Amino acid sequence: MKSRSDTAMEHWRDGVLERLNNARKDQYSSIPILSRRDPGTGHYSKRNWGFTLLEVMVALAIIAITLVTLLASQSQSLSLASEAKFNTTAALLAQSKIAEVEAENPEDLTSDSGDFGEDFPNYYWDLTVGYLGFAGAEEALDYLRQIDLVVSWGEQAQYQYRLRLYRFVPMRKK
């Protein structure tokens, strides 16, 4: 037989447990629960156990498409940055090479090629000097030279920057 103090203790314990359960229900009532017990049978509903295979596959497909798109845009961004760097550097190198050509004696202009040294590895230049030729204007065009400069980068000249210049070459009197 239970004493009066044991009964009071059980009553107190049951009241405390009931208040705790009610507090938990209030606290977590706004959070969706994936699996709930069916109130009629007390068993978990199979329908709410988790995600279906189709849902997981759709989620993975969405993630895969997103990642592929992000990686492709990152790759394109790096390629465009590399091309922009080449265009900027090649324009400055071409300008310096043309300044060297203009400083030379016009009669000593010849075709040549080379590199830009250790400061600009894998940058190469090719200078071509040619005569202009138009029918009926040969005498006047003897004074003009066409100078083509190509600045390229890489072993297989992946990028090329082309520049054309026309230079007046006075003829010496004989």
Q: DSSP per residue over 82-112, as a string?
A: HHHHHHHHHHHHHHHHHHHHHHS-GGG---E
- Domain span at residue 12 reads 1-31
CATH number at residue 113: 3.30.1300
Residue 136 counted as domain residue? yes
Q: Within this chain, do residues 21 and 92 fall inside the same structural domain, yes or no?
A: no
Q: How far is CA 167 from the centre of its chain?
A: 42
Predicted local confidence at residue 173, as pLDDT: 52
The whole model's pTM is what? 0.57
Residue 90 counted as domain residue? yes
- Per-10-residue mean pLDDT of the chain, 174 residues long, equals 71 72 62 54 60 90 95 91 92 92 83 91 91 67 84 83 86 56
Predicted local confidence at residue 85, as pLDDT: 92
The tally of domains found in the chain comes to 2
Q: Within this chain, do residues 91 and 164 fall inside the same structural domain, yes or no?
A: yes
Q: Within this chain, do residues 95 and 161 fall inside the same structural domain, yes or no?
A: yes
Q: Could you say which DSSP state residue 170 is in? A: P
Residue 3 counted as domain residue? yes
Residue 54 counted as domain residue? no
Residue 123 counted as domain residue? yes
Q: Within this chain, do residues 25 and 90 fall inside the same structural domain, yes or no?
A: no
- Cβ 159 vs Cβ 152: under 8 Å: yes
Spatial separation of the C-alpha atoms in residues 97 and 103, rounded to whole Å: 10
